[in-house]
């Protein structure tokens, strides 16, 4: 009887491990790449406006693309409770895309969901 119980426990643990591994692989395959996240951000009206501005020079453009995983998001929410992070998911990551286009002085920030490609937050400022 004890041997059957031990076999059952081992089979259960192996099954859970296999299911978890498969799930992780599936989610990773569906995640946005850095390039895809930048392209989604690039296609927004405000970035298109900045790129099509006749005063914009491409050599004065900086694009930062940072991946924030679920752990980093949770820690950010804990460390900065006064900041409204409600738009960020709790169970997966996002891409934080920041455009610095000068002249004329566009500062554009997007947070893009890594699974859906949806822009969860957009903020921009034009300094000139």
Give the model confidence (pLDDT) of 65-81 as tens digits: 999 999 999 999 999 99
Q: In the chain, pLDDT over 90 holds for what percent of residues?
A: 65
Quick one: pLDDT at residue 40? 98
Kindly report, residue by residue over 96-122, the tens digit of the pLDDT. 999 999 888 999 999 999 999 999 999
Q: Confidence class of residue 23 from pLDDT cuts 50, 70 and 90?
A: low
Quick one: pLDDT at residue 39? 98
Query: Please, what's the b/e burial string for 45-68 (b: 16 or more CB within 10 A of its CB; e: otherwise)?
Result: ebbeebeeeeebeeeeeeeebeeb
Mean pLDDT value across the chain = 88
- Residues 20 and 124: their CA atoms lie apart, in Å, by 39
Spans of all domains in the chain = 1-30, 32-126
């Amino acid at each position: 009887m004890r041997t059957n119980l031990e076999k059952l426990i081992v089979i259960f643990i192996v099954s859970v491990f296999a299911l978890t591994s498969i799930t992780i692989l599936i989610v990773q395959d569906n995640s946005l790449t850095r390039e895809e996240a930048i392209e989604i951000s690039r296609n927004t009206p405000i970035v298109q406006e900045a790129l099509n501005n006749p005063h914009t020079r491409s050599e004065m453009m900086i694009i930062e693309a940072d991946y924030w995983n679920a752990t980093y998001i949770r820690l950010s929410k804990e460390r900065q409770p006064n900041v409204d992070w409600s738009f960020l998911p709790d169970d997966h990551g996002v891409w934080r895309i920041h455009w610095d286009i000068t002249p004329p002085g566009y500062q554009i920030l997007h947070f893009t969901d890594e699974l859906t490609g949806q822009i969860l937050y957009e903020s921009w400022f034009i300094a000139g």
